[in-house]
Chain A
Amino acid sequence: MFQNCIRCTVCVENCPVFAVNPLFPGPKQAGPDAQRFRLDGEATVDNWVKYCSQCRRCQNACPYGVNCADIILRAQMKHEELKLLTRRMFARVHALGRVASFLAPLVNFFSRQRWVLRLLERAGVSTAIPFPPYQFRTLELGWRNISAFLGRREKKVALFYGCFLNFNRPDLGRKIRNLLLYLGYEVVLPPQTCCGLPALGNYDEELARRYAKKNISLLTPYVDAGYDVVYTCTSCGLTLTHDYPGLLNMEGGRKIAENTYYIYDYLLNTLDRDFLASLWGPLDMKVAYHIPCHLKALGIGYPLREILLQIPSLKSFVRDENCCGLSGSYGFKKENEKTSQTIGKLAAETLQNTGAQVIISDCGACRMQLGHLTGLPALDPIEIILSSLLTAGNRLSFYHLLTGAASYRAK
């Protein structure tokens, strides 16, 4: 759809990479402009496509529906020289996560050793921000179908938790599961694999298709059985709902996209507004809420914002003008380190200017980067939500989860 481009430059104004790296000519030139000279079936020759971090802000900002980021991604995937070892590795973060969490104590120990970091640097991995520790007790090792034991409930959720919660922060995954149970949903953690975004972001279309195909075949039976697929990671969500039926054009992708929800959007849309508002206890704090680029790209608004507005005494400052710069594995590559860090500093400054004591963001990667750059605690929204629930006197004991206690209060 590059034909729709009128060269207005709005995309360039939204490009975080263009603003910090003079080597990148911006999404207009790398996208629709250069596309006019690219031929189907031929390798991409313009080297600067590799600077694009696929934050998709350009695409979201375009008033004419030009999919600049998709155009650049297709060009990246056709670039022969860009298939380096580090990219092959980062495309497989799911497999890496499997191994790393199995060997968690060892991996966590070594990933903090100076000499290991030096070796990684030499191999092209950036160590500017610390690696997230891996957990041995992953989400997928736990109890996948707690609801089977509870009897059927009216609203059924199949949770797509994604690699980060699974391997690095299973505690957050359990909290989200508990919240859903407490609110009266049936929750299962269906078998699943990587959404495929890391593969796309590292130019491996083949691998992304394999992941997509697998997820579609694993999730479709749940959709057929009346489950709503609910995701917690906005980047996974974007891949499931946007790329499966769109860029990858997968068979069965549309069905998944139609039945897949972002968790906070799902809560707002399925619960009574007054009931939801009655749940929260006061939190006397100021939080800066960084909007992840991929939440923006979902086009569902900022649903968590509506919940934050319901929490008494909580002062939240929403900031959506910056990318955090990490963009998944982009910032973990040595060649992108400077770009990623400079973008991140701008975002960090914006958040610090609000005077908030705490940062929240829907995306785990954004939190890693911004928590590191600001030195402020960077929390997952569920942590704020649960503490507000608890201050209101809600109790999340096993019994309460088992019975979906909150749903009784609503009646």
Chain B
Amino acid sequence: MEEIYDVVVIGGGMAGLGAAIRLAKEGCHVAVVSRGDPILCLSTGCIDVLASGENPLNGIANLPPQHPYHLVSAEFIKEALAYFLNEIALGGLPYVGSPEENRHVLTPLGVGKTTCLVPETMAASTAEKESRIHVISFAGLKDFYPSYIMARIPATDLSVYEAGPVSTMFLATQFETDEFLERFLNWLKGTDITADRIAIPAVLGWMRALEIKRMIEEETKRPVFEIPTLPPSVAGIRLHRTLKRRALDLGIQFYLGKPIETVEMAGHLVEAVTLESMGRPTRVNGNAFILATGSFVSGGLLSQREGVTEGVFRLPVFYPPDRATWFGENFFPPEHPIEDAGVLVDEEFRPRAVEIDNLFVAGSILAYARVLRYGCGHGMAIVTGQAAASSCLKYLKVAAQGDTCSRTV
């Protein structure tokens, strides 16, 4: 007999994984279906909640009324982000920060990126013009040019470590080996460092970055922080892998790599999705479904000649009807009305204008999210993912009279 999951989450990014983890912890048997790896692993690894102002929570109150953040209370936002902080720490990748305070993380361009929750390896990051930073770079490292930083922060010192022709991922692998780490620490010992803090591109290993950061701090007696890099982004990969590992440890099943071919409906209920295959398609059955396939980049929304469509359920999509108005004059500031495109949902995160009782929508596929404009990507995904999970759980309890989701984890 085919397995029937309590919940099938479509999309394995920030919103999908977050929802899946919350549901699994409530005892649900969850499957995640994801066509490919999420954009999450290309990210800086930092969690933006709202990039305007110094206090994201206050800023959210001033967002336009249709913004998905307004579907939940400020209390819920706080709770959801605290939930994330707890889970990611349990996964072995502790994050720091509070939803009531933005911080500025140094980027390879030398400017600060406004963000909220950051991995502990970036906790000491600063982009102040007056700061005295000692940047450690690696000879030949692609897409990391310290002169950008030195041009913007004049008092920056620089040392370059020779590790052969390198990529960020290759360096992360090297840092996992004791010989390389020892050689690097020895070299560091001989380097004259007078600045207040030490900055290193985010390459300090895959699994033990925090441990290595502390070793360098011990050696140099100064705070050390990582600078997130362009993709391949080691910090983004760490975040994705840690969340996935956490999900696997909670008994969540994964169907990866294959697009959804058909959706099976029975009245107002989604019963199953089938995954494309060269032979027999794989069926994934569920009592409830969460759609978290992301926006255009992740393939959740498709822009076609006839208009914007949603790829899995063909849900009605809101988008500015006149193509000529989709884009602003310049890329920055990102004032592009097409960013409003997405699925409209009710307060329970069910798609509007269709009658499907057991489908909930979360993440950047939601209409009016304007992730680029507001700098709210991961934060909004975490919050709406968990909110959709709560609604989904409520639905399951009513539908099965409290009989479902009883697995012990």
A295 CB to nearest chain B CB (Å): 10
- Among residues of A, the one whose C-beta sits closest to the C-beta of B247 is A318
Residues of A with C-beta under 8 A to B256:
60-61, 296, 299
A299 touches B297 (CB 8 A): no
The bracket for how many chain A residues form the interface is 35 or more
B169 touches A13 (CB 8 A): yes
A63 touches B36 (CB 8 A): yes
Residues of B with C-beta under 8 A to A269:
1-2
A353 touches B207 (CB 8 A): yes
- Among residues of B, the one whose C-beta sits closest to the C-beta of A243 is B278
B42 touches A299 (CB 8 A): no
B257 touches A297 (CB 8 A): yes
Task: Determine if B166 is an interface residue (Cβ-Cβ < 8 Å).
Answer: yes
A6, A14, A299: the one within 8 Å of B255 (CB): A299
A249 CB to nearest chain B CB (Å): 10
Residues of A with C-beta under 8 A to B42:
8-10, 13
A309 touches B251 (CB 8 A): yes
Task: Give per-residue flags for A306-332: 1 if the beta carbon is below 8 A from chain B beta carbons, else 0.
Answer: 100100000001111100000000000
Please, how many angstroms separate the alpha-carbon atoms of A269 and B283 in the complex? Answer: 10
Task: Determine if A155 is an interface residue (Cβ-Cβ < 8 Å).
Answer: no
Most interface-central of A61, A63, A260, A300 (chain B CB within 10 A): A63
B3 touches A268 (CB 8 A): yes
Task: Determine if B244 is an interface residue (Cβ-Cβ < 8 Å).
Answer: yes
Task: Determine if A95 is an interface residue (Cβ-Cβ < 8 Å).
Answer: no
B257 touches A60 (CB 8 A): yes
Most interface-central of A13, A60, A305 (chain B CB within 10 A): A13
Task: Determine if A54 is an interface residue (Cβ-Cβ < 8 Å).
Answer: no
Q: Which of B170-178, B212-220, B384-392 contacts A (4 or more CB under 8 A)?
A: B170-178
A61 touches B257 (CB 8 A): yes
Residues of A with C-beta under 8 A to B170:
18-22
Task: Determine if A252 is an interface residue (Cβ-Cβ < 8 Å).
Answer: no
- Among residues of A, the one whose C-beta sits closest to the C-beta of B36 is A63
B1 touches A271 (CB 8 A): yes
B254 touches A22 (CB 8 A): no
Task: Determine if A372 is an interface residue (Cβ-Cβ < 8 Å).
Answer: no
Task: Determine if A273 is an interface residue (Cβ-Cβ < 8 Å).
Answer: yes
Please, how many angstroms separate the alpha-carbon atoms of A80 and B180 in the complex? Answer: 37
Task: Determine if A102 is an interface residue (Cβ-Cβ < 8 Å).
Answer: no
Q: Which of A168-176, A342-350, A392-400 contacts B (4 or more CB under 8 A)?
A: A342-350
Please, how many angstroms separate the alpha-carbon atoms of A269 and B285 in the complex? Answer: 12
A301 touches B37 (CB 8 A): no
- Among residues of B, the one whose C-beta sits closest to the C-beta of A60 is B257
A300 touches B255 (CB 8 A): yes
B166, B172, B253: the one within 8 Å of A22 (CB): B166
B167 touches A301 (CB 8 A): no
Please, how many angstroms separate the alpha-carbon atoms of A62 and B41 in the complex? Answer: 12
Please, how many angstroms separate the alpha-carbon atoms of A10 and B36 in the complex? Answer: 9
B232 CB to nearest chain A CB (Å): 5
Task: Determine if A166 is an interface residue (Cβ-Cβ < 8 Å).
Answer: no
B164 touches A13 (CB 8 A): no
A18 touches B167 (CB 8 A): yes
Please, how many angstroms separate the alpha-carbon atoms of A299 and B16 in the complex? Answer: 18
Task: Determine if B258 is an interface residue (Cβ-Cβ < 8 Å).
Answer: yes
A10, A268, A320, A345: the one within 8 Å of B254 (CB): A320
B41, B207, B279, B284: the one within 8 Å of A13 (CB): B41
| Residues from 341 to 363 in A contacting B, C-beta threshold 8 Å | 342, 345-346, 349-350, 353
Residues of A with C-beta under 8 A to B3:
268, 273, 306
Task: Determine if A110 is an interface residue (Cβ-Cβ < 8 Å).
Answer: no
A61, A65, A271, A350: the one within 8 Å of B37 (CB): A61
Task: Determine if B275 is an interface residue (Cβ-Cβ < 8 Å).
Answer: yes
Residues of A with C-beta under 8 A to B277:
241, 257, 299
| Residues from 222 to 268 in A contacting B, C-beta threshold 8 Å | 241-242, 244-246, 254, 256-260, 268
Task: Give per-residue flags for B4-37: 1 if the beta carbon is below 8 A from chain A beta carbons, else 0.
Answer: 0000000000000000000000000001000111
Residues of B with C-beta under 8 A to A20:
170, 173
Please, how many angstroms separate the alpha-carbon atoms of A12 and B168 in the complex? Answer: 11
A349 touches B176 (CB 8 A): yes
Residues of B with C-beta under 8 A to A60:
36, 256-257
Residues of A with C-beta under 8 A to B244:
320-321
| Residues from 34 to 87 in A contacting B, C-beta threshold 8 Å | 59-65
Given contacts A19-B170, A64-B36, A258-B279, contact A346 B176 (CB under 8 A): yes
Residues of A with C-beta under 8 A to B2:
268-269
Please, how many angstroms separate the alpha-carbon atoms of A260 and B279 in the complex? Answer: 8
Residues of B with C-beta under 8 A to A258:
279-280
Please, how many angstroms separate the alpha-carbon atoms of A21 and B299 in the complex? Answer: 31
What are 14 pairs between A and B in contact, CB < 8 Å? A6-B297, A8-B39, A13-B232, A20-B170, A259-B279, A259-B280, A260-B280, A272-B1, A273-B1, A299-B256, A301-B282, A305-B251, A320-B244, A346-B173
> Interface residues, chain A, CB within 8 Å of chain B?
6, 8-10, 12-14, 18-22, 59-65, 241-242, 244-246, 254, 256-260, 268-273, 296-297, 299-302, 305-306, 309, 317-321, 342, 345-346, 349-350, 353
The 9 A-B residue pairs with the shortest CB-CB distance in the complex, in nearest-first order: A257-B279, A63-B36, A60-B257, A299-B258, A9-B231, A61-B37, A318-B248, A19-B169, A301-B255
* Other contacts beyond A10-B39, A13-B42, A259-B280: 18, CB < 8 A: A8-B231, A13-B236, A18-B169, A19-B170, A61-B257, A62-B36, A65-B36, A241-B277, A245-B279, A257-B278, A257-B280, A258-B280, A269-B1, A302-B254, A317-B248, A318-B248, A321-B241, A349-B207
